[in-house]
Structure 1
Amino acid sequence: MLHPGLIELSQDQQKAELKIIPNTHGPISEQDLQQLLTLPDFACLFPLQAQITQAVIQVNQLNHQPDGDIELFFEIADRRDAAISFEVSSDKMQASMQLTAAYGGKSIDIRDILQNLKLQRISMGLSKVKIDNLLTELATLAPGKSCAGVIASGRAAINGIAAKLERKVSLARERLLQPQSNSDGTVDMRNLGAMIMVKPGSLLIEKTPATPGTDGYNVHGEKLTAKPGKDLKLTAGSGTELNPKNPNQLIATVAGQPVENKTGMQVDDVLQIKNVDVGYGNVDFKGSILITGDVCEGMVVKSTGDITVMGFVDSAALHAKGDITVSKGVIGRQLKDLSLSTTLVAQGQISAQFVQYSRLQAQANILITKQLLHSHSQTQQQLIVSDSSGRRGDLVGGKAEANKGIQAVAIGATADTKTEVFCAMELSELKLQLKQLDQSIKSMVVAMLNIEAQLRKLPPKEQWQADAMMVEQVTVMLDEKRRMATIRAQEELEHDALKLEVDNYYKNYCVHALKHVYSNVEIHIGNVFQRTQREHGPCHIHNKNQEIYFNYSN
């Protein structure tokens, strides 16, 4: 080892100085100099590797040379203060701090950290405990060693919860699914119980209001605005009112049959008829209609509410702005022009036990509990051909179209009856709506930025607050900005919901066979098509990567 006297601290005590005569002390190696730096006064200093390498080269070059008797001087180490650095995540929701122990220089205390946090604009979500822990760990580290950890976390905005409308009364259509039990435990499908009626003051719907959400922040203290929950209108239809003591409750004001609509409910007068036949004539009634018997051939029944038929519908036409419920069967036949003799059109749901050779068109679900045969059914929602137990429900022949999926116990027949099913056919329309919403939101952002730019160009308020015209212009701009912000928030909620639907479209909307899919069933899902060549067991049928895919797992 080289003599310890060759190295000493500089006059300011900040550097390690090497004074060496090549012919006397050389040749030397970098290891020799590193050993000198392990001496007590120098072990805490930072080795200057480039200087050490240069010293070794020069000393060894001059060793045994005429100039080798001249003393050389090198600074091979110095003191360095502890270091502090920060890293902020790309989303600004986390900040990490790294502390590096000093090489004989000044250490770091809480004041240094607070000063550096201020310079980095890290001000929110700080954890004093985590900072103290890192300072404690720093004190135990060897020179140049580091410790690091997350010392600040933002708080994500919590979006509001959407409003919810909870119906508190049953509807006529639900009676089809709740036949009365006999004393021996059997079920009487002919006895569906008493007609659903309400009295004045009955609670029909209760609304749970949307919540505004909770704003968040990032580690820089920037506000993260929460999106409010989507609101739902609760409007009073005829025969109803909002409870004067609670505007979130819809109550009946008259006795009658409750009928659901998109934004609430109405209570209809009920016209009760035994049979609709040639003797009674066609029916067009403002309210709900209860037919305790049958609707006979050639008859037309129209209602602004629900139509409930306790018997059969035979080669007739029913049109309802509410639901259509047929307790027994819907019977039709194919005419010479290939049209069907029975038509049911509802803005609500269509429910029946048995349907054949009929055209069904509904905005809400179509529910058939036993058989749907050789008919043309079309719904904006789901087509379900199944009883409540999932044991019986045959979809055979004809054409079935349901935007949001088809479920049946069995689809097709052992006789290879041609059966066409269509679902999930509106993806392109939904994508167009999504694009239009996106463009609308972007145009609103630009318009709001323009208003903000105009407001920033205004002179100080004291220069124009006495000018009535100027005050009015500013007020108009602020009102317009608030109006657009409200519309933008609503459209962003619609955009998010629609994007979620588009992203999961084919996953959510499919054909579900509980027991069988027979051969010669034409399956259309989106723009792909396949005709079955054999019988399939229980399965979900999806559009997967633009191919018909049979999923047999539960």
Structure 2
Amino acid sequence: MNNLRFEASEDGKEIHLIMINMDQASLTVEFLRNQFNITEFRSFYLLESSLIKAISLYKNKALEPGNENGLTEPVDFVVAERRDAMISIELGENKMSCSLLVETAYGAPNPTRENLKAYLTKTGIIKGINETILDSICTKIDNVAPGTVIKEIVANGKPAGQSRQARLEVLVMPVQDRLMKPKLRNDGTVDMHDFGEIEMVEVGEALMKRIPPVVGELGFNVMGEIVAPPKPQDRVLSVGEGAEISATDKNLLVASRRGVPLKIDDGIMVSDAYCVGDVDLNTGNIDFDGTVIVKGSVKEGMSVKATGKVLITDYLESAHIYAGDEVVIGKGILGRQKTTTSNDDDPYTACIETPSTVFSNYIQYASIRAGGTITAAKHIMHSDIMGTDIVVLSPKKNEGKIIGGVVRPLNSLSCNTLGGPSYIPTMVDFSSRFSVQLTELSDIREDMGERLNVIRGMKEALRRIDDKSAGGDVAEQVSKIANTVAHFEAVIKELKAKRASIIEEVSRIVDNLEVTVQKALFPGVQVTFVQNAVPVKQERDGCRIKAKDDGITYFTLD
């Protein structure tokens, strides 16, 4: 063993392997590594490639002349070196955390707690430092092998506090909600025939309260930068007619007159509505500038006209409703099919017209034209219904049916069941959405046909003119005809471009139209998206229906 030794350089940064008169058979990398690991230099970084080079150098020296009986001079080769510890950091998302990475030293002192703290400060980590974890890292450093990588999260920022959006709390029961919410019995069941009394509010009674937004607490990241909370959305009380902001609380809406509370966007209004029990021969027809509340039913043959809402607690029978705002019917619409009708007459005895929404538990034998959504909780049967969206859904799968008649949604139709097992003809017709475009396309087609006929006639006239015998007058006539033809051709080009634009617009709208059936779809249903009525040919489970070319296509529900 005296023939092999390891020595440190004068500056202590390198370790030299010194060999002379070694047994070449035992001179291997593994042998030298084992010898190195039992020295006081074993914590230095061993250069494995240098061991290979040292062995090669020794064997080459042994082959030189004069070294047949052993080397005359030892082989000296640097095989290990001191390496300082490596320190780095990794920042988490948005600088909200910091991980400290320490690779322990080879043959050199490991960093102290003060060294680690100074490094963090140097790299800008000044907030949320966990002193206990720093102590833990220092303990680990002294108990692991050289070159071990230790990684710990040593600092955490403080997230911004949660902001709370402003909200509006309704303090009374608006009459629309009352009619859509049947009375709860003592046993927990619902009485679909009793919607309770329509509430009246008195002057000064609280209607709605604004709960102001709350801005969350400021936070910070590990570099000491402020983290602002998200700005909460605010809401403002809408002061409807018959309501006002409280003199003592700017966030409280109160009644300024006695009346019926009605829900409006972000607020409540108090209507001095016309209230009546039943609308029948005793009351006569009603024509009122404002909201009409019917606490009973609108009987057969009667009509109600209102510039505001029409709210009916019980039934709409074979009667007419004309409203300037929403129509809500607590129980249902019960009309009949007329025995004889003219072409422009409604085929059903119950009719509703409104630019707003319609709600009823069920609709039977009715004609409805609404500018908003039409909702029926139970079913629509044998009716002619038009609205932006038509929704016939119920948690009970045996409800939510559309059977017979025509439904004319402008955007979408959603129901549990469409059609019936007996294949009753049921039409879904979106074509009303395109009445303007179809009229324009028809006018363009007619206009183009007339102009093309004129052009063909003028071109035929030009061919009959004998250019050889044409005098000045004839030449002038030819020029005028040619100019007219050119003008008409330019007009036709414009009409074609307009037609293409309309067709593109129609296609874009059609792509967004959809029928959604949650439970069952039956033959007897026909779907029209633009012009062509496409029949459903087989029973299907829940599905979505969309237009495809001139037909329809089905998609499974998500």
Q: TM-score, normalised by structure 1?
A: 0.70
Distance 1:155 1:37 in 2: 50
Deviations 1:75-123 (A, max 9, x none): 2212222222222346544432222222220111122212222333333
Whether 1:351 and 2:354 are equivalent positions in the alignment is no
Partner of 1:406: 414
Residue 146 (structure 1) shift: 2.3
Which deviates further from its counterpart, 306-315 or 33-42? 306-315
RMSD across aligned C-alpha pairs, in angstroms?
4.3
Partner of 2:58: 59
Residue of 264, 278, 284 corresponding to 1:261 = 264
Residue of 69, 77, 80 corresponding to 2:80 = 77
Residue of 302, 307, 311 corresponding to 1:307 = 311
Contact conserved, 1:26 with 1:63, CA < 8 A, in 2?
no
Cα gap change, 1:371 to 1:35, in 2 (>3 Å): closer
Report the secondary structure of 1:133's partner residue: helix
- The aligned runs of 1:224-239 (5 Å cut-off) are 224-239=227-242
Residue of 520, 525, 544 corresponding to 2:524 = 520
Tell me which amino acid in the other structure corresponds to 1:378.
G
Residue 257 (structure 1) shift: 1.0
Residue 72 (structure 1) shift: 3.2
Cα gap change, 1:348 to 1:217, in 2 (>3 Å): farther
Cα gap change, 1:174 to 1:263, in 2 (>3 Å): closer
Residue 266 (structure 1) shift: 0.4
Distance 2:117 2:190 in 1: 76
Contact conserved, 1:312 with 1:330, CA < 8 A, in 2?
yes
Report the secondary structure of 2:133's partner residue: helix
Distance 2:128 2:190 in 1: 63
Which deviates further from its counterpart, 173-182 or 200-209? 173-182
Partner of 1:41: 40
Contact conserved, 2:335 with 2:365, CA < 8 A, in 1?
yes
Partner of 1:249: 252
Partner of 2:10: 11
Contact conserved, 2:309 with 2:323, CA < 8 A, in 1?
no
Residue of 225, 240, 243 corresponding to 1:240 = 243
Cα gap change, 1:233 to 1:360, in 2 (>3 Å): farther
Residue 45 (structure 1) shift: 1.5
Contact conserved, 2:361 with 2:378, CA < 8 A, in 1?
yes
Whether 1:138 and 2:141 are equivalent positions in the alignment is yes
Distance 1:266 1:523 in 2: 41
Q: If you compute each CA radius of gyration, which structure gives the higher value, 1 or 2?
A: 2
Residue of 140, 164, 168 corresponding to 1:165 = 168
Residue of 426, 430, 441 corresponding to 1:419 = 426
Residue 60 (structure 1) shift: 0.9
Report the secondary structure of 1:197's partner residue: coil
Cα gap change, 1:364 to 1:135, in 2 (>3 Å): farther
Residue 267 (structure 1) shift: 0.7
Distance 1:291 1:137 in 2: 80
Distance 1:165 1:58 in 2: 87
Tell me which amino acid in the other structure corresponds to 2:42.
A
Which deviates further from its counterpart, 210-219 or 259-268? 210-219
Contact conserved, 2:418 with 2:525, CA < 8 A, in 1?
yes
Tell me which amino acid in the other structure corresponds to 1:521.
V
Tell me which amino acid in the other structure corresponds to 1:511.
T
Cα gap change, 1:214 to 1:395, in 2 (>3 Å): farther
Contact conserved, 1:285 with 1:303, CA < 8 A, in 2?
yes
Partner of 2:516: 511
Cα gap change, 1:132 to 1:231, in 2 (>3 Å): same
Cα gap change, 1:393 to 1:54, in 2 (>3 Å): closer
Deviations 1:405-443 (A, max 9, x none): 6244x43123323435589xx9xxxxxxxxxxxxxxxxx
Whether 1:150 and 2:157 are equivalent positions in the alignment is no
Partner of 2:107: 104
Distance 1:182 1:226 in 2: 46
Q: TM-score, normalised by structure 2?
A: 0.69
Q: Any unmatched runs of 5+ in structure 1? A: 427-505
Report the secondary structure of 1:314's partner residue: coil
Q: Any unmatched runs of 5+ in structure 2? A: 434-511
Tell me which amino acid in the other structure corresponds to 2:307.
S
- The aligned runs of 1:199-238 (5 Å cut-off) are 199-238=202-241
Residue of 305, 321, 335 corresponding to 1:331 = 335
Distance 1:206 1:524 in 2: 47
Cα gap change, 1:81 to 1:522, in 2 (>3 Å): farther
Residue of 121, 125, 134 corresponding to 1:122 = 125
Contact conserved, 1:395 with 1:411, CA < 8 A, in 2?
yes
Cα gap change, 1:370 to 1:15, in 2 (>3 Å): closer
Residue 62 (structure 1) shift: 1.1
Distance 1:168 1:84 in 2: 62
Contact conserved, 1:131 with 1:151, CA < 8 A, in 2?
yes
Deviations 1:336-380 (A, max 9, x none): 148666233253552254332312425456234454432214245
Tell me the number of residue pairs that the alignment of Structure 1 and Structure 2 aligns.
461
Identity %: 20
Cα gap change, 1:184 to 1:132, in 2 (>3 Å): closer
Which deviates further from its counterpart, 234-243 or 354-363? 354-363
